[in-house]
Chain A
Amino acid sequence: MAAGVRRRGKVGYLLMVPATLWLLVFFVVPFYSLVATSLFDPSGSDFRGYDMTYHWQNYADVLQAYWRPFLRSIWYAALATLICLVLGYVLAYAIAFKAGRWKNLLLVLVIAPFFTSFLVRTLSWQLILSDHGWVVRSLQFVHLLGPEDRLLATPAAIVAGLAYNFLPFMVLPLFASIDKIDPRLVEASSDLYANPFVGFFKVTWPLSLPGVVSGTLLTFIPAAGDYINAEFLGSTNQRVIGNVIQGQFVDANNAPVAASLSVLLMLIIVAMVLVYVRRAGTEELL
Chain B
Amino acid sequence: MADLSAAPQPEPPARRSTLSRRGLLKGGGALAVGGLSVAALRLPFFEVAGAQQNPATCKATDLSASAKQMIISNWTGYIDPRRNPKGTFAEFQEKTGIQVTYNDDVNDNAEFYAKVKNQLGTCEPIDRDLIVMTDWMAQRMIDLGWIQPLSKAAVPNLHANLIDSLRDKPWDPDLEYHAPWQSGLTGIAYNAEYVKEVGSFADLITRSDLKGKISLLTEMRDTMGFFLLDVGADPDDFTEAQWYDALDLLKKTVADGQLLKFAGNNYLQQLTNGNVVACEAWSGDVIQAQYDNPKIKFVIPEEGPSLWSDNMLVPNLATHESNAEKWIDYYYEPEVAARLAAWVNYICPVQGAQEAMEKIDPSLVDNQLIFPDPASLKDTWDFMPLDDRQTQQYEGDWTDVTVG
Interface residues of A (CB under 8 A from B): 5, 8-9, 12-13, 15-16, 28, 31-33, 35-37, 39-40, 43-52, 54, 65-66, 68-69, 126-127, 130-132, 150, 152-153, 235-237, 239, 243-244, 246-255, 283-284, 286
Contacts and interface: CB of A to CB of B under 8 A. Distances in A.
Given A153-B212, A239-B404, 18 more contacts: A9-B1, A44-B48, A45-B388, A46-B50, A51-B47, A131-B274, A131-B275, A153-B275, A236-B254, A236-B259, A236-B260, A236-B262, A237-B255, A244-B404, A249-B114, A250-B114, A251-B110, A254-B396
B363 interface: no
B90 interface: no
A276 to B, nearest CB: 16
B69 interface: no
24 contacts: A12-B2, A15-B1, A37-B48, A39-B40, A40-B47, A45-B391, A46-B51, A47-B50, A47-B52, A49-B51, A54-B40, A69-B403, A69-B404, A126-B275, A131-B274, A153-B261, A235-B259, A236-B260, A236-B261, A250-B110, A251-B218, A251-B220, A251-B402, A284-B7
B87 interface: no
Contacts of A15: 1
Interface stretch (B18-26, B161-169, B224-232, B367-375): B18-26
Nearest to A129: B275
A12 B48 contact: no
Interface residues of B, number: 58
Nearest to B391: A45
B68 interface: no
**A contact patch SS:** helix
B249 to A, nearest CB: 15
Contacts of A247: 399, 402-403
A252 B399 contact: yes
Contacts of A54: 40-41
Given A284-B14, A286-B21, A251 B260 contact: no
A47 B399 contact: no
B163 to A, nearest CB: 31
A243 B259 contact: no
A251 B109 CA distance: 9
A32 B39 contact: yes
Contacts of A150: 212
B40 A13 contact: no
Nearest to B48: A50
A37 B110 CA distance: 20
B260 A239 contact: no
Given A8-B2, A12-B5, A33-B46, A243 B403 contact: yes
A44 B389 CA distance: 9
Interface string B217-251: 01010000000000000000000000000000000
B144 interface: yes
B352 interface: no
The 6 closest A-B pairs by CB, nearest first: A12-B1, A247-B403, A252-B399, A49-B50, A52-B44, A36-B46
A54 B39 CA distance: 12
Contacts of A252: 392, 395-396, 398-399
A50 B47 contact: yes
A153 B260 contact: yes
B114 A35 contact: no
B296 to A, nearest CB: 15
Nearest to A66: B404
A247 B255 CA distance: 19
Contacts of B39: 32
B110 A253 contact: yes
B56 interface: no
Nearest to B401: A236
Contacts of A40: 47-48
Contacts of A254: 392, 395-396, 399
A130 B51 contact: no
A237 B402 CA distance: 10
Nearest to A5: B2
Contacts of A5: 2
Given A46-B121, A47-B51, A130 B404 contact: no
A246 B262 CA distance: 14
A51 B36 CA distance: 18
Contact of B395 (A13, A68, A251): A251
Contacts of A12: 1-2, 4-5
A132 B110 contact: no
Contact of B111 (A33, A237, A239, A250): A250
A50 B121 CA distance: 13
Given A47-B144, A283-B22, A36 B212 contact: no
A133 B160 CA distance: 52
B273 interface: yes
Interface in B360-404: 388-389, 391-392, 395-396, 398-400, 402-404
B217 to A, nearest CB: 12
A58 B110 CA distance: 23
